[in-house]
Structure 1
Amino acid sequence: MTDIQTNLFINGQYVPSSSGETLSIYSPNDDSLVSDKVQVAGEKDVDNAVAAAKKAFPAWRDTAGHKRAAIMLKFADLLEANIDKLAKLESAAMGQPVSVAKKMILGPVALWRYYAGYSGKVAGESFPPDEDGTYKIVQYEPIGVCAGICAWNGTHVLAAWKMAPAMATGNTFVLKSSEKSPLAACAYGDLLNQAGFPPGVINVLTGAGPVGSMLAHHMDIGKIAFTGSAAAGRAVMAAAAKSNLKHVSLELGGKSPALIFDDADLDNAVEHSSTSFLRNSGQICFAASRVLVQESIAPKFIEKIKDAFSNAEKQMGDPSLEDTAFGPLADKKQFERVMSFLTGAREEGVQVLVGGERLGDKGTFVKPTVFLNPDINSKVYKDEIFGPAISVRTFKDEDEAIELANATTYGLGSTVYTNDIARALRVAGKIEAGTVGINSAFNTSPQTPFGGFKQSGYGRESGPEGLKEYVQPKTIHINMNVGKK
């Protein structure tokens, strides 16, 4: 690809890294070099970005809500207008099929428009003096400089979840993209300027873990939102505690269950346990990778899911082509991680129903894989693979299904398939997860919060709850008895 932006975006301008360090991006499709000039932010660059955001904060906070909204809406329009370019950049960097990448840009477009509607509309509360003679006011104020660290599997979605509510509430921002998928985020700078964001309001940095660590430790950042692994999330939380006790929200992945009862529409359950699950090569944090099927329908389901995964393999290919449904894994490191799970499963004696191998001799393609009845202590059953692999196990009744579903340290997503609405709601209420899909793989919405229970993190993104992550309440008491005669 030509005309790829690789610089840092600080205070409204593209600048090279102060350290001169760069990282290389190789195509997960064919191992070819995409760019070796992606700038890696050093400590000076992080300080400059935070300083720019800090300087821009007072004016942005005081900008009228309707003016902030207009800028946000313009940015959403620009994202939509540049969807082809941004999708190609995402695809080139981490192998996401362009058809999928476009859908994962349209979602953020809706998010920016949704939160633009909240700009200037975050109301406070008041309480009458009653007997104590004190009039009470609660107002919600922006935190200040906020930062976001994105995972690589959905750059635009994760960036919008973090930046859009921060913008609506008058905060300023420093965004760090993943080192695996930095190219589309690097392109944001021009769009931010065209939209009319003042210099310093949003800054975009690239780099790996050390850059994220500098943000998490920074004394002038008031809030950090992180999406990624549990280990990295713990490090962010520890850094926040050791520095200035900044606000933290964490989304740390999952090992989500799908519960398929004997009265479910079987073809629908198969569709969402295969095509929907594989739409980003299984690289979706809330994808249901533990598929639990009621015993009486298990034989029929197993045959259907086997056929579905075999057919999906035939639809894998060059992610830059519009008709490609499923692409490679993000990079060689992720490929090796997933392959280690597949190799380990074979060594443990786990039955592989279909897949379980590399596809082709170039790129980072892995055949869609189904494990059958792995032991509950098997790594492929209990650990997050983050690849195109599911484990199928059976259950006898509702109680056992719920017990199996909750037997995990994670609690991000879940899915229930049944035609009994009472059962669906009953089971949904007992599943220990932040999100539940009924008769469909879970899909996010701008209107509803997203986040997890247990070790899937805490805090929420999207919906009104996501807005609350970027404000802090201030209580004001007024003595109404002063001057009373």
Structure 2
Amino acid sequence: MSYETRLFINGEYCNSSSGETVAIYNPTDESLVTDKVQVASEADIDRAVDAAKAAYPAWRQLAGHKRAKCMNKLADLLEANAEKLAKLESIAMGQPITVAKRMVLGPAALWRYYAGYAGKVAGESYPPDEDGYYKLVQYEPFGVCAGICAWNGSHTLAAWKMAPAMATGNVFILKSSEKSPLGLAAYGEYIKEAGFPPGVINIVAGAGPVGAMLASHMQISKIAFTGSAPSGRAVQQAATKSNMKKVTLELGGKSPALIFEDADMTNAVFHTADGFLRNSGQVCVASSRVLVQESIAQEYVKKVKEAYENAAKVMGDPAKAETAFGPLADKKQFDRVMGFLKDGKAEGVEVLTGGDRLGDKGTFVQPTVLLNPSLTSKVYTDEIFGPVISVRTFKDEDDAIKLANNTTYGLGSTIYTSDMARALRVAGKVESGTVAINSSWAGSPQTPFGGYKQSGYGRESGIEGLKNYMQPKTIHINMNLKK
């Protein structure tokens, strides 16, 4: 299988001006995939910004239906090439091929959703009252925008960032993650075929230093970042110290799952097992803190143990259709997760099942259930980003809410109960940007995604995602002048 490894700038593929490259290893067996992925230099970023600036005036003025045509065509091409893009994602970061394909098709729907808004962003007007001024509010694009993607859902994150920017007339520079750059690197040919003018979308690759170049660039007006909280703080600081560019941050999570005694047990177990283990737990919104009401805890623990043991049996080669769960993204992520498990065991945390490496090669970690870690244990407070949940009990609704909110994060939460009044009551009190009732989290193009507290600010997806790429301008017209 061939891999596109070059940068895509001003409508053409090109090598890095510095010659720096990064290697990608298949996490299934840690074999080398390619060592030719081009890392953008500062000169390359400047060139991408210059290309975007040059393309901006014409793209901004282009009729909305023509921008929408490009966007819809790109969605068509993503769907037509979903198999290829899924394989590229799978070989780079271990996502099972069946999951990876869904993670391409979903973003195609996002592109179409935002294409529907192109040319339809209306302003506001207010007639003169006693002040004699006619008042207009119009919404304008920022110009050159940038996005930094995490490695666990490249295509979704790219669509969340680029599609609303395109619909509102902005131009874009997207940085893929150094762990999973191959799928997004392939976009160049689709961008050209879809009819986007040169410079409107540019794709670059590299690690943190490249992201820092984007965050600190004086000619970039807006940046959206998805990743860890420490990296998000660095992006925010760089943006502030440079030109005070607008920032959207989607950071980590340590989301709670609240299982009440009247919950459908089979459903709750499924979603806190198979639902949580999607992408091997490498999902920022995944509910890794499971809180179960005392009266049903024994039954839940028994069933979730069985579910995690069964999950281990369908964890394997992500290239196979029968594989449900794959390896962690790379050796670094594997070592991080194993470090958490080692520390938890040293603290005396009970391992109900799992807790070790799966197999003798690759970066597979057994699906793991930890019981009753202390409220201060790192396995309970910190984002592990692997196939590991912690289970604790609660007494009543107030206790459940208190435990759920006892975190510095606030990205997501899930609630399992047959009482819809209670479900909505608890949903209103849980401090998180998203709430799923009787399900693990599932996104929609129509609804916003983002977090409270240290899970970031700003929203992606939905109408709120569109607003992040527009700035209001107020115009007052004095109607009192006499002829």
TM-score, with length taken from structure 1: 0.99
- Residue pairs, 1:63-462, within 5 angstroms: 63-462=62-461
Secondary structure of 1:224's aligned partner: strand
Identity %: 73
Task: Please state how far the C-alpha of 1:323 moved relative to its aligned partner.
Answer: 1.5
CA distance in 1, matches of 2:57, 2:258: 50
CA distance in 2, matches of 1:394, 1:3: 50
Q: Which amino acid aligns with 1:199?
A: P
Secondary structure of 2:432's aligned partner: coil
Secondary structure of 1:118's aligned partner: coil
CA distance in 1, matches of 2:208, 2:271: 34
Q: Which amino acid aligns with 1:440?
A: S
CA distance in 1, matches of 2:357, 2:242: 44
For residues 342-401 of structure 1, what are the alpha-carbon distances to aligned partners after superposition, in whole Å with 9 as ceiling and x for unaligned? Answer: 111111100000000000111100000000011010010000000000000000000000
Please list every run of 5 or more consecutive structure 2 residues that lacks an aligned counterpart in the other structure: none
CA distance in 2, matches of 1:367, 1:181: 22
CA distance in 1, matches of 2:325, 2:403: 29
CA distance in 2, matches of 1:483, 1:419: 68
CA distance in 2, matches of 1:177, 1:425: 38
Secondary structure of 1:179's aligned partner: coil
CA distance in 2, matches of 1:343, 1:121: 54
For residues 397-451 of structure 1, what are the alpha-carbon distances to aligned partners after superposition, in whole Å with 9 as ceiling and x for unaligned? Answer: 0000000000000000000000000000000000000000000011110000000
Secondary structure of 1:41's aligned partner: coil
For residues 317-343 of structure 1, what are the alpha-carbon distances to aligned partners after superposition, in whole Å with 9 as ceiling and x for unaligned? Answer: 100111110000000000000000011
CA distance in 2, matches of 1:401, 1:158: 32
Secondary structure of 2:219's aligned partner: coil
Q: Which amino acid aligns with 1:198?
A: P
CA distance in 2, matches of 1:51, 1:73: 26
CA distance in 2, matches of 1:208, 1:110: 28
Q: Which amino acid aligns with 2:138?
A: Q
CA distance in 2, matches of 1:106, 1:253: 24
CA distance in 2, matches of 1:140, 1:210: 33
CA distance in 2, matches of 1:442, 1:42: 37
RMSD, aligned α-carbons:
0.5
For residues 219-252 of structure 1, what are the alpha-carbon distances to aligned partners after superposition, in whole Å with 9 as ceiling and x for unaligned? Answer: 0000000000000000000000000000000001
CA distance in 2, matches of 1:279, 1:215: 31
CA distance in 2, matches of 1:395, 1:90: 39
CA distance in 2, matches of 1:247, 1:183: 28
Task: Please state how far the C-alpha of 1:483 moved relative to its aligned partner.
Answer: 2.9
Secondary structure of 1:275's aligned partner: helix
- Residue pairs, 1:38-53, within 5 angstroms: 38-53=37-52
Q: Which amino acid aligns with 1:458?
A: Y
CA distance in 1, matches of 2:427, 2:322: 36
Secondary structure of 1:339's aligned partner: helix
Secondary structure of 1:139's aligned partner: strand
CA distance in 2, matches of 1:322, 1:196: 34
Q: Which amino acid aligns with 1:336?
A: D
Secondary structure of 2:13's aligned partner: strand
Task: Please state how far the C-alpha of 1:107 moved relative to its aligned partner.
Answer: 1.0
Q: Which amino acid aligns with 2:217?
A: H
Task: Please state how far the C-alpha of 1:3 moved relative to its aligned partner.
Answer: 1.6
Secondary structure of 2:135's aligned partner: strand
Moved over 2 A (4+): none
For residues 443-482 of structure 1, what are the alpha-carbon distances to aligned partners after superposition, in whole Å with 9 as ceiling and x for unaligned? Answer: 1100000000000000000000000000000000011122
Please list every run of 5 or more consecutive structure 1 residues that lacks an aligned counterpart in the other structure: none
CA distance in 1, matches of 2:2, 2:253: 37
CA distance in 1, matches of 2:63, 2:300: 56
Secondary structure of 2:278's aligned partner: coil
CA distance in 2, matches of 1:158, 1:248: 15
